[in-house]
Structure 1
Amino acid sequence: MDLELTGKTAVVTGAGRGIGLAIAQALSAEGVRVLGAARNVTPDLKAAAYATVSADLSTPEGATAVVETSLSEFGGIDILVNNVGGGDAGELTLGGFLDIDNQQWRKLFDLNLFSAVWTTRAALPSIRERRGAIINISSINSRLPALGPTGYSEAKAALTALSKRLSEEFGPQGVRVNTVSPGVVGSSLWRGADGFGAKVAAASGVGHDEFLAAIPEQFGISSGRITEPEEVAALVTFLASEKAVNILGADFVIDGGSVKTS
């Protein structure tokens, strides 16, 4: 299937590894000129992207700098993928509402919500002119808040709501905004020795490998396995394409069947 993406330009945030890197690779394979933004620009990202920029997207200045660099590099933006998110596992406190301080709430909202607000605001004039697409990477945690660290799920729920607001306002002007909400994905966040999955395993008193093997049953994953970054990237690439021209304001769950409600 020709997705008619050759020659388009895209900005992908949080593109240094995991889902973001897979998205940058998938778009590039379809002929898109990708600017990959990450705090740490990895060799894999340099190989996948047309251009890269190192930036802290949890700050307004970092987010704006990414868009300014892309406009300078490309002259315009067709596709924006707001993928950056999660949080530094080493700085996250696992616990209930009363265990979490204001600093963690602020960090999680800056990275998982406001980064998308700032980047989108800077990129929208160009995307609107080109009748382009915005894809926000949320999470099934927006629907199942008990699964993640306090503050993360709430920020992702707000991001999903932001997508709907943007779709309502800018859809009539030719801008397509959609959300992709993965479940557990086999990235370094879960599989890495220093990632969030390892931290949860340690807090639960089980080995990391044992914890990973138990995830499909514990999360009720009907497919029996977790999702791979490349599978999320394939969905994002389709939504960015001209084949999805009448899809907007939707939230696509890709979780192997973890979420049991419609």
Structure 2
Amino acid sequence: MQTRGAGRATVAAATCGFLLVAVAACGGTPNEVRHYGDIPRPGGPTGTARPGAPEVQSRVPGIGDRMWERIPVGTRQIVAVFGEYETSPYSTLVLYEKRGTRWEPQRSWPAHNGKRGWATDHQEGDERTPVGVFTLSDAGGVLDDPGALLPYTQDEDAFISPLSWDEAHWHDFDYVIAIDYNRLPGTRPDEPTRPLGQSKGGGIWLHLDHGDGTLGCVSVPESAMKYLLRRLDPKDRPVIVMGDKANLRQ
């Protein structure tokens, strides 16, 4: 049976595109001030989405032709992550769902991405989050399944953060959703296979926020993780579209 210490070391090696994490999981300074971003709006200025009064549109605003064409046919759920700018760790995550021919925003939350921003050519250890469109296939975490519709792997030994990490990061992986960047969809989130090669990084997840930038993952509040786990449905072919606003508009 794997010991807790060994499990903590394993997840450190598998997550956020970083093999030898010495200080903290996906993070920098725990006390960094949180920033709340804006959500792109069609035909007008930006503003914060209100879950109680969603705007409805035939296409997700802020996503340009190049990115839109990469969204698979049949997708009815889009997790959009709008980064403030290319070198910023601050972003806003919005869940959109398709109803008929219209895309409706459901909820939005402040989020963090890589502490050095975004990368259109992500490399192992660059502390940036890959820009692009990726499917969402698998979930898991330290805690019991909260009612996830995606396949969920609960494994405390495999997902728990090392005690050597700063206390602010001990709950990062209570819940995770694997982002299908350089991984094998249909496997548990910590599966180490990297189809594009190790140099292209991997282990890019959605996980709990610790108050600052990550080493490549996207982090959101616990309430967001629970909501997404209970809402993202394989039959709706969910994807994440993520990047800085300038790149997403292309």
Taking structure 2 as the reference length, the TM-score comes to 0.27
Higher normalized strand content (fraction of residues) = 2
Higher normalized helix content (fraction of residues) = 1
Q: Considering Cα pairs closer than 8 Å and 6+ residues apart, tell me whether 1 or 2 has the greater RCO.
A: 2
Bigger CA radius of gyration: 1
